[in-house]
Structure 1
């Protein structure tokens, strides 16, 4: 896995079920995934790739999602569940293209499904569409979470919207507001209320996620993001990329000249 993440080896393509969970920080994505894995791991082998933001200055990543995954403490699930934190590195989206290669390798090793948890970084969450077969947007009982998701276009992209923390005041109101905002849209996703804290609705949600079909809208968005990711990778791997960035930042080259150098 380290060789793949460091681009020292490119695995053969292998297809499989990839489910992306995305949403604002603090809505309980990790805890929700933890609960769902308890349900799915009774019949499936699951790999979780938790994507952590990389600092644009130091290149360091927090890689802290493992702390919130209690399922990893269950000895009997050792052979059923695999967890790995992945730094975003130089990718502008919250899910780096390298995750696709990691997923291919995991499928070749026999895993039934790969769960990707993305960072809550607003509009860059759209990039998860390039990798996932299903996109689950997680919201919480806060209007700010919804506004952020609406600005990023996440609600229009979702195959399913999950309002977590249904045990807290305001969750039902949030679900109603999301329903209203999507009422005029074609192929609007279902909205489900659950609580990762109490377990309410988790068993039903685990079944619904696996049975939900992607819409034409999300499939189109998925293709669009894959094309954008392909172009980004092509740019990032040009031999002169870092040199041009240094030249522009030091004032030795104008921005327009830099773009020209990268297009040569």
Structure 2
């Protein structure tokens, strides 16, 4: 309203002399329009090698009560950032104001300004619309309608105006239930609207997309279908770098957990509850057997001949109940005296491969008191004994309530040398300072936020003050080699842990290559020649089997707690599965590809119970995925 009329007229006159295609993207609220737009821009830039200048106009609704607008679509835009020295994508957010429409009253002049500025393509994304809205159509050259599979009955499609006007229809969030049926129904509706009965529904410009999925082929199919139309409108497009896709909807839809296993956590809980209930029932049966035999014994001690029939009856009842006890539980009760004897002495004797290993069962305090390391309960009731064996048991025995190992190590672990500050040279000096004079090198690495998010530390000015802050900056393989220089990464006394999640696969690959290159350099120094292919392969295989350490790579915990995520959760889990498979194939047994942790969940606000619950469920989810 406050614009200079002369300036507006000048802009309109200049725009009239330039032919610039306008792509309009509209759809229901929450359909994923912004994410889909971002993915289309990313494909355009990749395909055309970032040659085109694109203007992105995003419209958000104004609230009637407050008059404000969120203008939040820009938070979905990841592909508009500069890839080089020059900004190729311009974005501006507009509010609808009080137009009562999904577009702003200023939109025609904004489009004119973009045309006058010489952009190669203008993309307009509207706010969410209803069934009867189509205000974007007269303002753009190529209208695109974005919807989800949840539109109700197929008859509801008759009411959607945009299915009459849209040149392309995207059914986003195609991983949802019923998406394939929705694609068929929408394609048939578009066929009826266009009266294109000479074509098959599958030939209609209706696409199934998953904008949240990395490199989704459904989005690529939509982009490639748009290219000829945009080229016809004057957009200078070449053949492009993206390979053609032979589909009209997203494929490779692999959920985190398959549908058939969606109750895996409930099944685990049901199994645990059923096991505990059975343990209580079996302990009751064992108690009854003991009570019946004790009653028969006491009657026999009375010596009365009249008790003979009762003694036989009690013995029969005891035998029948004992027969209902599983053989494994009868053996468990039968071995109880031997278990008591094994833990009664001062030493626990264990035989491993004909070798006798003795472990002290007693700890003597400074006051001279002897405290047993493992104290068995003083139960005499068979029911309580069996219940304890089934629900608790000694350490190192099922169900491992007291621990997975029989005893804890008495020797102290080497110091965990946690460091990460500045560049690789500075952190390497810190590692050497911390480990000086110690037999074991337990190098625990912290990375700065630039590395944690996989960003380029050379870009200015956004990363000022962040490079090397609260962690080491690692951007290249050379950085990784400097970080661990001077340490033999394959030595049994060297262990490396890396606290990193989003870019963990890349950092892990850098670490493995660093360890391999160390041994290759040692070979060159010793043999005074280059290793041949067979020797290099043997060295690499040996390194993978002997390197020790852990990479955190817990992407579920990151999604719940800290959010240092780069890719979608589904894609990240797939990569984690690929790494686990690679480790199995190459016999990588001493380096762990994931560390399921919970302390970051606690830092995000979880209490101890929910922290443990999330951590356990994450572990089970990794197994299922």
CA distance 1:88–1:73, shift in 2 (3 Å): same
Deviations 1:124-182 (A, max 9, x none): 63110121101101121212498776434111111111111223332211111112223
* Residue 191 (1) aligns with residue 240 (2): no
Question: In structure 2, how many angstroms separate the alpha carbons of the residues matched to 1:6 and 1:68?
Answer: 31
Structure 1 residues 100 and 143: alpha-carbon distance in aligned structure 2, compared to 1, 3 A threshold: same
* 2:3 matches 1:7: yes
Is 2:41 aligned against 1:24? no
Shift of 1:119: 1.0
The 8 Å contact of residues 48 and 84 in structure 1, kept in 2 or not, is answered as: yes
| 2:120 match | 112
| Alpha-carbon distance in 2 for matches of 1:70, 1:142 | 27
1:1-264 equivalent positions in 2, closer than 5 A: 6-8=2-4, 9-10=7-8, 11-13=11-13, 14=15, 15-41=19-45, 42-76=50-84, 79-123=87-131, 125-144=133-152, 150-186=158-194, 190-198=205-213, 199-212=216-229
Q: Deviations over 1:166-204 (max 9, x none)?
A: 233322111111122233232665111222122222223
Larger Cα-atom Rg = 2
Work out which structure has the larger RCO, using CA pairs closer than 8 Å and 6 or more positions apart in sequence.
1
Deviation at 1:90, TM superposition (A): 2.6
SS at match of 2:175: coil
Name the CA shift for 1:20/1:57 in 2 (closer, same or farther; >3 Å): same
TM-score normalised to structure 1 length: 0.71
Change beyond 3 A, Cα 1:192–1:186:
same
Partner SS state of residue 102, structure 2? coil
TM superposition score normalised by structure 2: 0.31
Q: Secondary structure at the match of 1:119?
A: strand
Distance 1:111 1:20 in 2: 15
Query: C-alpha displacement at 1:78, in angstroms?
Result: 5.3
**Distance between the aligned counterparts of 1:161 and 1:38, measured in 2?**
19
Q: What number of residue pairs does the alignment pair up?
A: 209
Distance in 2 separating the partners of 1:84 and 1:71: 15
Q: For 1:115, what is the secondary structure of its paired residue?
A: strand
Question: CA separation in 2, counterparts of 1:139 and 1:104?
Answer: 28
Is the contact between residue 24 and residue 148 of structure 1 (CA under 8 Å) also seen in structure 2?
no
Q: Is the 8 A contact 1:122 1:149 kept in 2?
A: no
Q: CA deviation at 1:74?
A: 4.6
Cα pair 1:139 1:146 within 8 Å, conserved: no
Q: CA RMSD in A?
A: 2.5
Cα distance in 1 for partners of 2:188, 2:126 equals 26
- Where 2:133 maps in the other structure, the secondary structure is helix
Any idea what SS the aligned residue of 1:19 has? strand
Task: Describe the shift of the 1:110–1:57 C-alpha distance in structure 2 as closer, same or farther (beyond 3 A).
Answer: same
Aligned in 2, Cα 1:99/1:6: closer, same or farther, shift over 3 Å? farther
Range that drifts further, 200-209 or 181-190 = 181-190
> Following the alignment from structure 2 to structure 1, what is the Cα–Cα distance between the partners of residues 195 and 84?
40
Q: Rate the CA distance shift 1:148–1:77 in 2: closer, same or farther, 3 A.
A: farther
Moved more, 182-191 or 124-133: 182-191
